[in-house]
């Protein structure tokens, strides 16, 4: 399942469409759209006919496939990456009174998971060029209460794993990688998920590889496997004689066989999905004009999985007006993400404007452009034409 690094000079020879899901010129172009082939639909129908809809043989098969991809590491599936993050925090012993360092520019589930186990999220500003957490600022935020670090691979661009492991070793920090967006990405040729840490993946509908809803947790070793399984299903231990016991508080967070069947179908196309996304990203770089005032993402075609193509609007341009105008042109635009620390819930924890200026600047101007298998070169050209036209109007 691992593919070689892309050769940018060959990207334009890659097909920009799948057999299904192609967009028509006048269709509304969403910012993302999953590709589900007929074989996967058939596999889901087979699960429905089997009578086993909850976690069963397909979940076990999906977990084995994920473990193979992750170099044989133990993997357990969940109904979301959020549930996987919460399980990782609990397996790591994080709880009331503890602090967990993470990025303020992420989907709120990252920080919410920390609150869910009774701990406090401690934010560190981001790097401007990668938009990931600035690891050089982590040491200043460490206290005796710091229990773990959750780096986030924004848009599928991996956090520097070399710096991460050096930092973790120097400060005896436990690391839980929020790789919800980076399944299929790699660090220097090693797939995300093959390192020494807890790793949480997402297979939500908008991810490169989807199971509809779902997630997975890669564990550092097999010691916590049994506890991990109990945490995802009400803390229950079942015995051969039909009795059971509940030894700790668990959740209802297991994956269904329906979701696993979708995930297995996606893995078959994983390499093609990756190549098409990279090819579309390359076309964006080639087509977006430098004089439009947009700030483009880091052009990493070796390690990123191009989960999203995100640009920063010029200062002074209303993002709301830009999105409204693009949608009026039939083009869907996403915002990923507004900064977490300025949500009302987190202001109650004492955070406020100006705390993390780089993240606040990026979070106020970032927009996600359409990028998904099924898009054609003409779709990218259409997006870029609309951007140019609308920015000219909004900057007058």
For residue 376, give the CATH number of its domain.
3.90.1150.10
My answer on whether 43 and 109 are in the same domain is yes
My answer on whether 202 and 302 are in the same domain is no
pLDDT tens, position by position, 34-87: 999 999 999 999 999 998 999 999 999 999 999 999 999 999 999 999 999 999
pLDDT tens, position by position, 306-325: 999 999 999 999 999 999 99
* Residue 158 domain flag: yes
Query: Given the structure tokens 């949500």, which residue do they identify?
Result: 343
Q: What are phi and psi of 120, to 5 degrees?
A: -115, 125
Q: What is the residue-averaged pLDDT of the chain?
A: 93
Say whether pLDDT at 146 is over 70: yes
* Residue 26 domain flag: no
* Residue 23 domain flag: no
CATH code (residue 175)? 3.40.640.10
Residue 374 burial (CB count, 10 A): 19
My answer on whether 213 and 341 are in the same domain is no
State the alpha helices, DSSP H only, in 215-367.
225-231, 257-268, 270-287, 319-328, 344-347, 357-365
- What total number of domains does the chain contain? 2
Catalytic residue among 24, 207, 252, 348: 207
My answer on whether 66 and 207 are in the same domain is yes
pLDDT tens, position by position, 117-141: 999 999 999 999 999 999 999 999 9
Closest CA to 223 of 93, 132, 41: 93
pLDDT of residue 25: 54
- Has 207 been annotated as catalytic? yes
pLDDT tens, position by position, 245-284: 999 999 999 999 999 999 999 999 999 999 999 999 999 9
My answer on whether 112 and 157 are in the same domain is yes
- Rounded to two decimals, what is the model's pTM? 0.93
My answer on whether 258 and 279 are in the same domain is no
Say whether pLDDT at 290 is over 90: no
Residue 348: domain span:
8-14+271-394
My answer on whether 309 and 206 are in the same domain is no
Crossing angle between the packed helical segments 377-394 and 270-287, to the nearest 10 degrees: 40
Dihedral angle of Cα 95, 99, 102, 107, to the nearest 10 degrees: 50
Among 233, 250, 267, the domain-final residue is 267
State the alpha helices, DSSP H only, in 183-237.
225-231
DSSP state of 89: H
My answer on whether 330 and 362 are in the same domain is yes
My answer on whether 43 and 181 are in the same domain is yes
* Residue 31 domain flag: no
What would the mean pLDDT of 322-339 be, rounded to a whole number? 98
């Amino acid at each position: 399942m691992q593919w070689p690094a892309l050769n940018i000079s060959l990207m334009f020879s890659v097909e920009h469409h799948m057999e299904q899901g192609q967009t028509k010129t006048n269709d509304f172009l969403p910012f993302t759209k999953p590709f589900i082939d007929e074989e996967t639909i058939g596999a889901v129908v087979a699960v429905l006919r089997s009578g086993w809809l909850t976690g069963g043989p397909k979940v076990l098969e999906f977990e084995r496939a994920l473990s193979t991809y992750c170099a044989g590491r133990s993997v357990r599936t969940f109904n979301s990456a959020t549930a996987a993050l919460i399980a990782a925090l609990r397996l790591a012993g994080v709880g009331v009174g503890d602090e967990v360092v993470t990025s303020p520019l992420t989907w709120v589930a990252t920080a919410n998971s920390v609150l869910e186990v009774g701990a406090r999220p401690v934010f560190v500003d981001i790097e401007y060029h990668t938009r990931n957490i600035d690891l050089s600022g982590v040491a200043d935020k460490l206290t005796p209460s710091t229990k773990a670090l959750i780096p986030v691979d924004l848009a599928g661009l991996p956090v520097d794993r070399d710096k991460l492991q050096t930092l973790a070793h120097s400060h005896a920090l436990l690391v839980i990688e929020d790789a919800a967006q980076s399944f299929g990405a790699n660090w220097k040729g090693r797939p995300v998920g093959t390192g020494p840490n807890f790793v949480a993946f997402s297979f939500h509908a908008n991810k490169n590889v989807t199971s509809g809803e779902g997630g997975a947790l890669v564990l550092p070793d097999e010691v916590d496997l049994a506890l991990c399984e109990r945490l995802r299903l009400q803390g229950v231990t079942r015995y051969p004689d039909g009795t059971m016991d509940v030894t700790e508080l668990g959740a209802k967070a297991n994956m269904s066989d329906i979701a696993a069947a979708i995930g297995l179908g996606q893995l078959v196309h994983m390499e093609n999905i990756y190549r098409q996304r990279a090819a579309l990203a390359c076309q964006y770089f080639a087509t977006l004009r430098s004089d439009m005032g947009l700030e483009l993402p880091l052009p990493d075609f070796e390690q990123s999985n191009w989960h999203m193509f995100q640009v920063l609007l010029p200062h002074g341009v209303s993002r709301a007006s830009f999105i409204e105008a693009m949608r009026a042109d039939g083009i869907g635009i996403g915002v990923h993400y507004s900064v977490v620390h300025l949500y009302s819930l987190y202001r109650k924890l004492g955070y406020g404007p100006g705390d993390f200026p780089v993240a606040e600047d990026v979070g106020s101007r970032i927009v996600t452009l359409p990028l998904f298998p099924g898009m054609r070169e003409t779709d990218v050209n259409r997006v870029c034409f609309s951007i140019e036209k609308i920015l000219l109007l909004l900057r007058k």
